[in-house]
Structure formats: C-alpha cells, structure tokens
A and B are shown apart, each in its own frame.
Chain A
C-alpha cells in the first residue's frame, strides 16, 4: 500500500497525536514503506530540534523581545493594506526607528567607552582597571538597561529625559492600577524571580522615542531604501574565435563569496539576482582533488577535458591549480588585525554577532606565536584590543565580547588604523593580515571608493594582506568588498552562517591566512588548428589584457595554502560546426592593411599542425617577491566523453551549469537543474566535508523554486 507523504496524519503519527487505533493502523500502513518511515523519523528529529531551539530561545533574557521589529512591521503592513490611513502604522514604524536610534546611540557611547578603556587599559599592562573581571563568564553582556544606568551623559539620554519621565509616569500609574486590581507586586516586582518583567525599564527607556522621534534622526540608510545591496553587472564572456584571439588571459580568483550569497537567497526561498551569481566563485567554493605540487613548486597545474554536458558537440577544458598544503603546526607566526565594522547596520544577529562567533572560532586556532589586535570602526574608529599574543585567548575573547554595534561607518579611517597596527607588529616571514568584517557600507568620511582602493593597494605592497568577510543582506556592498580584497592581495568570503565561518576560518584557515603565491596569472594559447572558438566561463571581473601577462606591475590573484583554483573553458572544436546559436561568432570584417597570414603566425606554422589543443602559461610571484616566475604546460585533448569524465570534472561542470542557469545565461545550453543534480551526484566523490551534498540539496531547492524546469 502506498502511503501519501503529504498526509497530515503521517505528521500526527510521528508526533504521537493519533488515537491508539489510528496509530496502530498507520504503523501497519507504513511498515513496508521505507519512504514513509524515513519521513516519520525525519519529522521526529526535526521536532526535537524545534523543541531545543524554542527552549534555548525561552531562556534568553526577556528584554530581547523588544528588539524584534518584525512583529511591529508585520502587523503594520497587514493593517496598512486593509486601511489606507493608519495612524498605528506610523506609530509602530516610528517606534521601530526610534528603537534603532536609541540603541544605536547607546551603542555609540558604549563603543566610545570601550575604545577609551581599551587604549588606556591595554596600553599599560597590569595597569589599574575599575573592575577587572576574572573570567569571560563573569562579564555580563551589558544590557540596554545597564547602559542607560551607566551612561548618564550621551546623545540618547541628553535628548530624551523629558519624554522618558513622562512615559514612566504613565507606566507607573498603570502598574499602580494593576496593583490595586490584584496583587501584582509579588510576581511582577519580586526580586527573587529571575528577570521578573525586566522589560519594564527597558521599555520605558526605549519607549522614549515612541512619542518623539525627531530628536534623533536614525542613520539615513534606515529611512531610505531598505534594500541597498549592490552587485556589479556581470557581462558574460562571449565565444571568441581562436584564430583572431588565440590568447586568453586572466587572473586567478579564490573568492567564494558568491556561492554563500547565492545559497542564502535559495535557502530563504528565492532565486538570487543574476548579478549576484559569479560562476567562478561558485566553482571555486569547492576543493578539487588535483595532484599535489612537485618538488618545491608552490602549486601544480592539472589539465583535463571532456565533452561539454550541456552542449555535447563542444568540449569542456578544465584548468586546475592546487596550492601546496601546509600543516597547521607549520603555519608561520601570524600577526592578525581584526578590523570590525560596529556601525548600526551591523546590529542584526547575522552580522556583528556572527562575526564575533567567527572570530572566536579563529582565535581558538591561534597559538602563542600569533598575535591578534582588534580595531573597530563606526562613527570614529579605535583600538579595542592592542596586539595580543594568541595564547591569551581570554583577553581576546573578552575584547570581542564587549563589542556592540551602533553608529555610522567610516571604513577608511578604520582601515588606516588597522594597517598601522599590523605594520607596528609586523612579523617578518610570517603571516601579516588585516581581516575586515563588514556589511561594506562605507558611507561617511573618505568614501571615495578610488581613494579607498588606492590606500589598500599601497598597504598591500608593504606585505600586509587583507581578508574580507562580508555579512548581512540588505546593505551588502558586494562589489566594494570584492574590489578591496582583490586590491589588498586578499580573499573575500561571505559569511551566511556559522557553518560558513567554520569553513573559511577553521577548515581552511591556512588557505585563508597564508598566501603561498601572489599575482597569479593564467594565459591560455589556443591552437586554431584544433579550436574554432572558446569561451571562458566566469572570471569576467578577472580578465587581463594579453600584454598584462608578462607585466609584473599588473596585480592579480593570490593562492593560499591548500587552495584549489579551477577555470573552465567551453571550446568549439575546429571543423566540428556547432548547433548552438549562442556559440556562433559574428564574423569580423577582414583587415585592410594586414593579410591574415602575417609573419607572426607563419613562424610557428610547424606547431600549427600540432595535435595540442592549448598551451597554458602561468605566472606567479613569491608572497614577498616582486619578480614573477613562468610555468608552462601543453595539453592534447583525447576526446573523452562526459560519461567517463573524472568525478571532479563532472562536479565542476555541474556547478558551472548551475550558475549559468541561475543567471539564465544565453550560454546555458541544454542543461536543466535536473541534469545539474545528476552530474553533481555522479561527481560527488568522497565529499568528506559534505559540501557537495549541500550543493546538491541547494540545486534541488532551486529546482523547486523554478517549477517550469525539469
């Protein structure tokens, strides 16, 4: 008997909600349906998970409820639809803004205090301190109420007093009434109860703005456009005829941010905007099993080709690089400066709190030879923790713990300070790196992007590299951050979850921190005798001019320890003719002053008959070097079919096609999400860390979001 998995009774059964008779009947019905049994087990497991989460949530301090604006806005929005003129809507929106404003203002003053304290306390080791807490646990997270009490002077409280008192009077009379009506005092104000209605005070203080919002203007970005995420437009690489364009030159890229960002969209039930999808970052999110570098080479080159699964008459060429693995204990001493954005926009839990969690994970991996400093920036910037040995974890963690978001952003000033701290503590031969965590909104002060980028570029030359961790959604300045990382000899990862933080900062800590080769450029020469035209998949932002390849002044991407870098070309073989209209290249008018058989090509006419498909040239510099080294490999395509391709190649092809489908690319060919899932499954391999399984799951979700697809 076939059990319907969409039967609510199956869920009821799993939760033990059926009457004994029905229960027995259902148990019998599912006895020979592994599918249904699986469903029941999963439901039960999920129910356990839910219970745990609810319980954890219930034990949160009650005052946190006040900060959940979605309840306000939810109700307000629904009501606004029903009633055109709604006083309440404005009231609640104003309240939400006011809460932001007040919290923001409070947090600014907190930061100022922290900064001041950080500098004075840590500048004098063992110096006097009002209240040196013994352990991290002993320091309570400062709550809103505490801050009000401790901060008699500050932008929030100076402006607020008259309103606060008015509001409090109201509240007091209200509770008097209640006390008269019943004996409320015993529980409402019972000091022995844990946090008995602590919201009373915080409401009073937060509520200040409810009646008066003009006093504090919330940071402008809250009032304007709520979604200011920006993605640079990506114009996809076209097919280029090999005869006219034999050289394809680009910089490598180990960024992975686009993948995590895309995943965030899909998990939240929508397909990402086209330009948020950068195919090369999706492909490079995964580590592939390329051969280890030989001798003392920093990396290996691994070439492979197969028939192109979404356009079988084409070939798919894969260029794989593998950076040398470095054992954890062999990682040189690290001088790290965390540069943390603590502006108001960083307040949500998936921003500063996530960043703090990520940093905790990283700090856990450090040793006494490493050093950590924390620079924060908001309206101003400051040193929250001076450079501290990596084994003084408590001190570092405490400094992290005390950070709170609030204020507006001056990224440039913070960056300057961070680089200065990094330079002051420079470890020769070690890892020197600024780790910037932000939602990327540099909106005050020196925000000319060009200036900022020049600054970073100059600093990168001093040997201090940059890692950028992007967080947040509505404000995400994806393009800014990508550029900063690019110019800062660094990498850019997007953190959408603590799991992702773990991948970037724990599993791949060496790759993230330790650059083993810099300014890595690839130039591919296609043999027109074998290749009619070709298309580089992704890397649109990494293209270089062919002259740039041998020019050591031109900056390019870095490769970290153990990193793999993958680039795919879709190749139309010579003489094969293509059925794909997207691959047909419009003819270029013949040249007037040159004949096609110019001396340059005849000189190599011998090689022209070569069976080789391509020659791949690679230039890199040592992390502290200025002169590049050249590596060269040739490759002959043996015409193998996709069915027989190596799992890694199948998987990379699946990811590439997935990206193109999400972009609705004109080059997506005959592929579908269904096919992507199939190829990915064939190419899943060992997948020890489970990342590939995660991809397959995401592809399933994307498929369900786009039902018109197979």
Chain B
C-alpha cells in the first residue's frame, strides 16, 4: 500500500483508508440529506477527506467522527448558501413537517426487505433523521451532536426522544409476526 502520510503529524494511508471505509457511506448519506442531491454530496465528502488529509493528527485523534461530520456539514451548508438553495437551517420548516413520504414502502429501493426499519426512518423529519444517524450510526454523544449541529444538548435530547418514539410506533408490529416454524402433523 502506498503511504501518503509522509509528513509528521498527519494521517498515513492506512489510517485514511480505515476512516474512508468507516465513514464514506455515512457521510454521503448525511450530506445527501442536507443537499438533497447525491452528486454534490459526493463532492462535499471528497473535499472533506481532502481536508482530513491535511489536518493535524491531534485535531482528529480525539474524535474523527465528530471532526468529519462537522467539516462535512459545514461544507454542505456552504454549498446551500452559495447556491441559495433550500436552506437546511430553516429548522422550523423541516422539524415540524413530517417528511412527505406516503408510506415507508414507497421509498428506499435497492435493499432487500431486511432494511424495513430504515425505510420507516425515512419517514421522519430530516432533522430527526440527522440526529439519529449521528447517534446510532456514528456513536456520537449528545454533546458531540450538539457541537456538530449547533443545537443545544437538551434540544438534541428532545429530538432523539421524539424520533425514537415515532419510530417505535411505526415499527411496532414488524418483528412480532414471526416465530420459528414448527410443522404440524396429523395425529
């Protein structure tokens, strides 16, 4: 493997690869949600990793996830501002208004049915999706999520609480219908 981290205090190729593997897809999803456009999201994520490469180790070691999501989020919001597009910051609109997905089954297309829960997830307001992704996909604490999203810690707590409540309601039955099969025979 080619090493690019020759300079002292920077990431080496192996570490970069590990982070790329771990966070590429989560970051893409994250940026896509903000931008509403996966093509631009890809550019933002790429840029984020470029910045990561030039970042000093000590900035990252404490928490690469927090660093990556903060940089990625700012990059995405910059594009929003620059292009005067729908602003993700328009919190009121996004938080109160349930995502308009008519039914979870209408949406995510490619995976097998095991992604049932993720489909329901797609019906939550985007802001709630965002905090859930940060919390449960990327294991960030309320505090870290608060720093990334510029929301107060208690606000994060309320959003996660509400999001989980809704999710559990909608998920409800999903796994109840299934119990192991025991063939019945004629006595």
Nearest chain A CB to B98's CB is how many angstroms away? 8
Chain B residue numbers with a CB within 8 Å of A328 are 183, 185
Chain B residue numbers with a CB within 8 Å of A75 are 35-37, 85-86
Chain A residue numbers with a CB within 8 Å of B94 are 78
Interface residue? A56 (CB, 8 A)? yes
Contact A65 B106 (CB under 8 A): no
Chain A residue numbers with a CB within 8 Å of B169 are 701, 704
Contacts A57-B118, A182-B53, A694-B176 given; indicate if A47 touches B136 (C-beta within 8 A). Answer: yes
Contacts A12-B157, A353-B111, A697-B172 given; indicate if A197 touches B36 (C-beta within 8 A). Answer: no
Interface residue? B58 (CB, 8 A)? no
Interface residue? B8 (CB, 8 A)? no
Which single residue of chain A is at the shortest CB-CB distance from B17?
A193
Give the complex CA separation of A235 and B120 in angstroms.
34
Chain B residue numbers with a CB within 8 Å of A330 are 186
User: Which one of B86, B97, B107, B109 has the greatest number of beta carbons of chain A within 10 Å?
Assistant: B109
Chain A residue numbers with a CB within 8 Å of B177 are 497, 499-500, 502-503, 689-691, 694
Nearest chain B CB to A162's CB is how many angstroms away? 20
Interface residue? A158 (CB, 8 A)? no
Partner of B114 from A17, A56, A76 at Cβ < 8 Å? A56
Give the complex CA separation of A279 and B175 in angstroms.
24
Chain A residue numbers with a CB within 8 Å of B33 are 71
What 0/1 pattern do residues 122 to 165 of B give for CB contact below 8 A with A?
11001000001101110001100000000000100110111011
Nearest chain A CB to B114's CB is how many angstroms away? 7
Nearest chain B CB to A111's CB is how many angstroms away? 17
Contacts A58-B137, A79-B86, A194-B21 given; indicate if A268 touches B105 (C-beta within 8 A). Answer: yes
Interface residue? A350 (CB, 8 A)? yes
Give the complex CA separation of A43 and B186 in angstroms.
42
Interface residue? A222 (CB, 8 A)? no
- B: number of interface residues (CB 8 Å): 92
* Majority DSSP secondary structure for residues of A touching B: helix
Interface residue? A11 (CB, 8 A)? yes
Give the complex CA separation of A8 and B161 in angstroms.
5
Interface residue? B59 (CB, 8 A)? no
Among residues 49 to 81 in chain A, which have CB atoms less than 8 Å away from a CB atom of chain B? 49-51, 53-58, 60, 62, 64-72, 74-79
Interface residue? A190 (CB, 8 A)? yes
Contact A197 B35 (CB under 8 A): no
Interface residue? B2 (CB, 8 A)? yes
Nearest chain B CB to A473's CB is how many angstroms away? 5
Give the complex CA separation of A210 and B101 in angstroms.
23
Interface residue? A354 (CB, 8 A)? yes
Contacts A325-B186, A326-B186 given; indicate if A186 touches B111 (C-beta within 8 A). Answer: no
Which single residue of chain B is at the shortest CB-CB distance from A42?
B168
Which single residue of chain A is at the shortest CB-CB distance from B185?
A327
Interface residue? B20 (CB, 8 A)? yes
Interface residue? B184 (CB, 8 A)? yes
Which single residue of chain A is at the shortest CB-CB distance from B4?
A186
* Majority DSSP secondary structure for residues of B touching A: helix
Chain B residue numbers with a CB within 8 Å of A327 are 183-186
Chain B residue numbers with a CB within 8 Å of A245 are none
Interface residue? A92 (CB, 8 A)? yes
Interface locus among A127-135, A259-267, A514-522, A671-679: A259-267
Contact A68 B32 (CB under 8 A): yes
Which single residue of chain B is at the shortest CB-CB distance from A45?
B168
Partner of B113 from A15, A46, A92, A354 at Cβ < 8 Å? A354
Among residues 65 to 124 in chain B, which have CB atoms less than 8 Å away from a CB atom of chain A? 85-86, 93-94, 97, 99-120, 122-123
Among residues 413 to 470 in chain A, which have CB atoms less than 8 Å away from a CB atom of chain B? none
Give the complex CA separation of A174 and B39 in angstroms.
12
Contact A701 B172 (CB under 8 A): yes
Which single residue of chain A is at the shortest CB-CB distance from B166?
A269
Nearest chain B CB to A316's CB is how many angstroms away? 27
Among residues 490 to 533 in chain A, which have CB atoms less than 8 Å away from a CB atom of chain B? 496-500, 502-503, 506-507
Which single residue of chain B is at the shortest CB-CB distance from A325?
B186
Which single residue of chain B is at the shortest CB-CB distance from A71?
B32
What 0/1 pattern do residues 377 to 388 of A give for CB contact below 8 A with B?
000000000000
Contact B161 A203 (CB under 8 A): no
Interface residue? A643 (CB, 8 A)? no
Contact A268 B123 (CB under 8 A): yes
Partner of A690 from B105, B117, B172, B179 at Cβ < 8 Å? B179
Interface residue? A688 (CB, 8 A)? yes
Chain B residue numbers with a CB within 8 Å of A78 are 36, 86, 93-94, 97
Contact B176 A697 (CB under 8 A): yes
Chain A residue numbers with a CB within 8 Å of B46 are 178, 184, 188, 197
What 0/1 pattern do residues 606 to 638 of A give for CB contact below 8 A with B?
000000000000000000000000000000000
Interface residue? A181 (CB, 8 A)? yes
Contact B174 A499 (CB under 8 A): yes
Interface residue? A271 (CB, 8 A)? no
Give the complex CA separation of A122 and B186 in angstroms.
39
Contact B161 A11 (CB under 8 A): yes
Give the complex CA separation of A92 and B36 in angstroms.
9
Chain B residue numbers with a CB within 8 Å of A693 are 176
User: Which one of A17, A46, A187 has the greatest number of beta carbons of chain B within 10 Å?
Assistant: A187
Chain A residue numbers with a CB within 8 Å of B133 are 54
Chain B residue numbers with a CB within 8 Å of A43 are 164
Contact A265 B160 (CB under 8 A): no
Give the complex CA separation of A57 and B165 in angstroms.
22
Contact B179 A56 (CB under 8 A): no
Chain B residue numbers with a CB within 8 Å of A708 are none
Contacts A64-B111, A689-B179 given; indicate if A70 touches B101 (C-beta within 8 A). Answer: yes
Contact A348 B42 (CB under 8 A): no
Contact A12 B142 (CB under 8 A): yes
Give the complex CA separation of A704 and B185 in angstroms.
40
Chain A residue numbers with a CB within 8 Å of B179 are 688-690
Interface residue? A88 (CB, 8 A)? yes
Give the complex CA separation of A76 and B122 in angstroms.
16
Contact A357 B113 (CB under 8 A): yes
Nearest chain A CB to B12's CB is how many angstroms away? 10
What 0/1 pattern do residues 1 to 36 of A give for CB contact below 8 A with B?
000001111111001010000000000000000000
Chain A residue numbers with a CB within 8 Å of B101 are 70
Give the complex CA separation of A197 and B27 in angstroms.
12
Give the complex CA separation of A188 and B104 in angstroms.
33
Give the complex CA separation of A127 and B176 in angstroms.
47
Which single residue of chain A is at the shortest CB-CB distance from B5?
A186
Contact A60 B168 (CB under 8 A): no
Chain A residue numbers with a CB within 8 Å of B185 are 325, 327-328
Contact A46 B167 (CB under 8 A): yes
Contact B28 A62 (CB under 8 A): yes
Query: Nearest 6 A-B pairs (CB), nearest first?
Result: A75-B36, A268-B103, A8-B161, A54-B137, A182-B50, A11-B161
Q: Which residue numbers of B lie inside 8 Å of A, CB to CB?
A: 1-2, 4, 13, 16-17, 20-21, 24-26, 28-29, 32-33, 35-39, 42-43, 46-47, 49-51, 53-54, 85-86, 93-94, 97, 99-120, 122-123, 126, 132-133, 135-137, 141-142, 154, 157-158, 160-162, 164-165, 167-179, 181, 183-186
Sample of 14 A–B contacts (CB below 8 Å): A17-B141, A54-B137, A68-B109, A70-B99, A88-B85, A182-B50, A183-B53, A186-B2, A187-B13, A194-B21, A227-B102, A270-B103, A327-B183, A499-B178
Q: Which residue numbers of A lie inside 8 Å of B, CB to CB?
A: 6-12, 15, 17, 42-43, 46-47, 49-51, 53-58, 60, 62, 64-72, 74-79, 82, 88, 92, 174, 178, 181-184, 186-188, 190, 192-194, 196-197, 199-200, 203, 207, 227, 263-265, 267-270, 324-328, 330, 347-350, 353-354, 356-357, 472-474, 496-500, 502-503, 506-507, 562, 688-691, 693-694, 697-698, 701, 704
11 other A-B residue contacts (CB within 8 Å) besides A92-B36, A349-B111: A11-B161, A47-B164, A58-B25, A71-B32, A181-B50, A190-B17, A268-B102, A349-B108, A694-B177, A697-B172, A704-B169
